[in-house]
Structure formats: C-alpha cells, structure tokens
Structure 1
C-alpha cells in the first residue's frame, strides 16, 4: 500500500478539509537540509515535506479550520494554487 502524498494530492486534501488559502514556504540553511512547509492563512503549519520519505506529512493543525474574517491581512509568502501545483510538479517531485 502506497501512503505517499504528492503535492497535487495534498492540494486536493487541503481543499476537501476546507482550507482554501495556504502558502508554501521554503527554508534553505547552509547547515541544514531544505525544509518545505505549507501554512494556512493564519500562519499555522498544516503540512511539511519529508525528503527521506518523499511525501508530504499532514500535521494535526490541518484539522483545525479557522475562517479568515474580513480585513485580516494574509501572511506574506507564495500562495499555492492549482496552477502553481502543476508548475511545481513539472520541475520538482514534491
């Protein structure tokens, strides 16, 4: 049984759970491996990339859904859309 989650599947899972505004952040430090995470609009980490397992890992935060009340400024970062998922799937396997 294959339990690995690719970015396209992660996008579908997050939308099915009610998350419609989320961002991908990457942190690359010289002394540590590249770290990728998906954050909700209120800056909670809801998934992260497991390089060793080649899969996205959902955090328990993914189950807590909070609506974005009007006027709340969204976090800075790269919004993750279905188009961005497609583009990323062409250049990297995440």
Structure 2
C-alpha cells in the first residue's frame, strides 16, 4: 500500500459516510505493517506524531503500526477505541 492507496480509501470512507449520514463510516484508523510504514512515512508525507497522546496521524486519522498488521483503512465503527480520539478528516496536501 502507498500513500495514494491510503488517500483513496480515506476518501471512499468519507464519501460513503456523507452519503449515508453515518459518522461510524468515517475513516477511523489506518493500520499498517512496519514495512509499509517505513516505506511511506517520510517527512514530506505528512504522517507524523504531533502529540504523544494522539499518536501518529495522517490527514487527521490515527495510524497504528505493527509487524503483524495487514495494511488497511478501518472506519470508526470497525476501529472502535483503537482509533480514538477521532478527528475530522483533513484535506490531502
């Protein structure tokens, strides 16, 4: 998975949530393998930890990294507490 793939999935989730009027369908968590994170997380990517309590974020969505993870974007309902605190999806820069 690359940043374009992540952006596309985030935008699909946001569009679906808007169409159905369901905040639970908004992007809630980006789950990445350690290998993918190391490949896509550059200074220019915008993927960063700005506050230790909020964790790593990309476009306002929490990023969770582990060696055993499969790369995927979860909506808020799927992510549950793992994606909290939820922030508004930021525009792609």
* TM tier, smaller: 0.3 to 0.5
* Alignment TM-score, normalising by the size of structure 2: 0.35
Larger radius of gyration: 1
